[in-house]
Amino acid sequence: MAFKLRHTNRYREIAVALVRHGFGYVVEEMGLLSVLSLPRKWLRRKSSQPDGKTLGERIRLVLEELGPTFIKLGQLSSTREDLLPPEIIGELKKLQDRVPPFPMEEVRAILEEELGRPMDELFAEFGETPLAAASIGQVHKAVLLTGESVAVKVQRPLVDEIARLDLDILEDFAALAERRLDWAARYQIRTVVAELARSMREELDYSREGRNAERLARGAAVARDIRIPDVHWTHSTSKVLTLDYVGGITLGQPEQLRERGHDLKRTAERLVNVILRQVFVDGAFHADPHPGNVLVLPDGTLAFVDFGLVGRLDEELRDQLGQLLIALMRQDSAGVARSILRLGMVSEDRDTTALRRDLDLLREQYYDVPFAQMSLGKALGDLFALANRHRISMPTDLTLLGKTLLTVEGVAEALDPELSILKLAEPLGRKLLKDRLHPHQMQKRWWRRLTGYADTLISFPQQLSQLTKQLRTGQLKVEIGIPEIELLLRKLDQVSNRISISIVLLSFSIIMVGLIIASSVGNVPALVLHFPVIEIGSAVAGLMLLWLLYSIFKTGRF
């Protein structure tokens, strides 16, 4: 692997962090010793030191040591329960952004450079103390010249350049790992890293976060129980995001909610209903609804903030999720299993026997369980665990949904321990079932499938032409897989050898018969170099016949 010279120091920092926390064998197997000024013996000694820490703990420590980009990637990875085992997911969820705010002078410089005007021409007031600070940016309260109170999110200096450098290095490492490590190739590490890098780059673009907020606001336009703050695009860029300021009490402050007269049970139900409506009706949902990102306004309305993670579900995926919800509601275990398989992309080389066995166990887990005791988040978590074992590739937004539902269930249960998310989802499930059987919806689904078939039919002549071209130029390759093909070929080879010997023996016998007849007619013994050909030939033919019979009897097959 040809390392980029300008990245050498960062390569070394990453490799040293891996060695320090017990991953020296990875550094060695990937051939990274060339970027370290460390003896090989020191490397092995450091990487093998017992510290009593689990694999998940050591991974978390590596990410924390390597800084904001890796911490954020770890946080994103904690949503991928279809890729990582629970013990690692649990440690990644502990990752926190522990970074101090950057000074006001730098905030001012970034705002003036991004928005192209001096601060006094942008804001009537600007709070110098940030409301919140994280690894990517920090938020300040301000007042526009027009009088609106706003929250201004400013990206940290150079964080974009640092993150892109780290992401480039990670993608290089992933490519190298797939070439050198079998497990990395088996789990398609390059694809996983590329997907996480894409999510990270999207979070670095505040313009995208603003569009996420507007997407959720469109879905909430007809609802009275949720508020999404408006985006002020005149004061927003890819590194600055300005939203309406929302003042309220976070869901993580239940005592204050009680003091202000809010019904915690009703608040929990409202949160669950909002998320379910976003998922199954709007097709876009807030994917990070932790207590600090959901505020309760004085009138009881919920307000969402921080739109860096927003999941999207297309109509087909929402339809499949609806069928899963209906199957859970009706306690239809077979329907649950069907929905699981339809939601995922099953690899062709999966172990179908083991997969079927695990699906049976999953069905038994939800069979005869009271509806109110079921957990929709846990059901999806079980799905991801099954997917991880059988390499079933799940859509990214679906894994994000699983994490979202688990978060919502945790927040709601903290407010109302007796709440059941599936019980609240029952009316929605019945509506989905009714809508699914409605003639208009059935016609819509049939038309969508018919359109897909029509596209296939229209493209058939072109595909046939390409196939003909490949046949004509000899470029068509046909691969046939047959179980135990080596054994079959060996048997065929044995059979062909015996047939060949039989043919040779038959030919030899015919020649000998000809010699015997010629010798009898001419009354002259058949001699070649004074050797009796007939007698020797008969002996050879007899030996060949005995060997052939012995080999046939030895196999036990006639």
Residue with more model confidence, 332 or 42: 332
Q: Kindly tell me if the per-residue pLDDT of 67 is higher than 90.
A: no
In the 3-class helix/strand/coil scheme, how is 54-115 assigned residue by residue?
Answer: CHHHHHHHHHHHHCHHHHHHHHHHCCCCCCCCHHHHHHHCCCCCCCCCCCHHHHHHHHHHHH
Rounded to an integer, the average pLDDT of 279-286 is 88
Q: How far apart are CA 409 and CA 413, in angstroms?
A: 6
Q: What's residue 475's pLDDT?
A: 64
Q: How far apart are CA 521 and CA 540, in angstroms?
A: 24
For residue 188, count other CB atoms closer than 10 A to its CB.
16
Q: Kindly tell me if the per-residue pLDDT of 59 is higher than 80.
A: yes
Residue with more model confidence, 460 or 287: 287
CA angle 84, 90, 95 (to 5 degrees): 105
Of 80-94, 245-259, 447-461, which has the strongest mean pLDDT? 245-259
Of 168-172, 475-479, 532-536, which has the strongest mean pLDDT? 168-172
Q: What's residue 447's pLDDT?
A: 63
Known catalytic membership, residue 288: yes
Q: Kindly tell me if the per-residue pLDDT of 347 is higher than 60.
A: no
Q: Kindly tell me if the per-residue pLDDT of 349 is higher than 70.
A: no
Q: Kindly tell me if the per-residue pLDDT of 520 is higher than 70.
A: no
The residue length of the chain stands at 558
Q: Kindly tell me if the per-residue pLDDT of 557 is higher than 50.
A: no
pLDDT digits (tens, 9 = 90+) for 94-124: 886 667 889 999 999 999 999 999 999 999 9
For β-strands 249-250 and 294-296, DSSP reports them as antiparallel
Task: Tell me the helix, strand and coil percentages in the chain, rounded to 5.
Answer: 65, 10, 25
Q: How far apart are CA 231 and CA 29, in angstroms?
A: 49
Residue with more model confidence, 216 or 446: 216
Q: What's residue 558's pLDDT?
A: 44
Where does the pLDDT of residue 181 fall: very low under 50, low under 70, confident under 90, or very high at 90 and above? confident
Q: How far apart are CA 339 and CA 510, in angstroms?
A: 70
Residue 407 burial (C-beta neighbours within 10 Å; 0-12, 13-18, 19+): buried
Q: Which residues contact 311 (CB under 8 A, 6 or more apart)?
A: 284, 285, 287, 397, 400, 401, 404
Phi-psi sector, 360: left (phi>0), alpha (psi -120 to 50), beta: alpha
Q: What's residue 483's pLDDT?
A: 47
Domain spans of the chain?
Answer: 5-98+162-200, 254-437, 489-555
Angle between the N-to-C axes of helices 315-329 and 421-437, in degrees from 0 to 180, rounded to the nearest 10: 120
Q: Kindly tell me if the per-residue pLDDT of 315 is higher than 70.
A: yes
**Averaged pLDDT score across all residues of the chain:** 76
Q: What's residue 172's pLDDT?
A: 83
Residue with more model confidence, 494 or 379: 379
Q: What's residue 489's pLDDT?
A: 58
Of 273-282, 348-357, 382-391, 450-459, which has the strongest mean pLDDT? 273-282
Q: What's residue 154's pLDDT?
A: 96
Tokens of 194: 């590329």
Q: Which residues contact 1 (CB under 8 A, 6 or more apart)?
A: 31, 172, 175, 176
Rounded to an integer, the average pLDDT of 509-526 is 58
Q: 């897909």: which residue's tokens? A: 452
Q: Kindly tell me if the per-residue pLDDT of 48 is higher than 50.
A: no
Residue with more model confidence, 138 or 330: 138
Where does the pLDDT of residue 292 fall: very low under 50, low under 70, confident under 90, or very high at 90 and above? confident
Percent of the chain with pLDDT over 90: 21
For β-strands 527-528 and 531-532, DSSP reports them as antiparallel
What DSSP state is assigned to residue 231? B
Q: Kindly tell me if the per-residue pLDDT of 357 is higher than 90.
A: no
Residue with more model confidence, 437 or 275: 275
Residue 162 burial (C-beta neighbours within 10 Å; 0-12, 13-18, 19+): middle
Q: What's residue 187's pLDDT?
A: 63
Q: What's residue 97's pLDDT?
A: 63
Rounded to an integer, the average pLDDT of 283-312 is 90
Q: What's residue 1's pLDDT?
A: 47
**DSSP per residue, 348-416:** TT--HHHHHHHHHHHHHHHTT--GGG--HHHHHHHHHHHHHHHTEEPPHHHHHHHHHHHHHHHHHHHH-
CA angle 284, 321, 308 (to 5 degrees): 25
Q: Kindly tell me if the per-residue pLDDT of 405 is higher than 90.
A: no
For residue 117, count other CB atoms closer than 10 A to its CB.
11
pLDDT digits (tens, 9 = 90+) for 206-223: 999 999 999 999 888 777
Percent of the chain with pLDDT over 70: 61
pLDDT digits (tens, 9 = 90+) for 372-397: 566 666 777 776 677 667 766 667 77
Q: What's residue 516's pLDDT?
A: 62
Please pick, among 82, 288, 306, 358, the residue that the annotation labels catalytic. 288
What is residue 494's three-state secondary structure?
helix
| Span of 6-15, 49-58, 475-484 with lowest mean pLDDT | 475-484
Q: Which residues contact 431 (CB under 8 A, 6 or more apart)?
A: none
Residue with more model confidence, 203 or 263: 263
Rounded to an integer, the average pLDDT of 76-101 is 75
Q: How far apart are CA 505 and CA 486, in angstroms?
A: 29
Note the pTM of the prediction, 2 decimals.
Answer: 0.68
Rounded to an integer, the average pLDDT of 467-487 is 60
Rounded to an integer, the average pLDDT of 273-278 is 90
Phi first, then psi: what are they for 133, rounded to 5°? -135, 135
Q: Are the C-beta atoms of residues 283 and 324 closer than 8 Å to each other? A: no
Q: Kindly tell me if the per-residue pLDDT of 398 is higher than 70.
A: yes
Residue with more model confidence, 476 or 303: 303
Q: What's residue 371's pLDDT?
A: 54
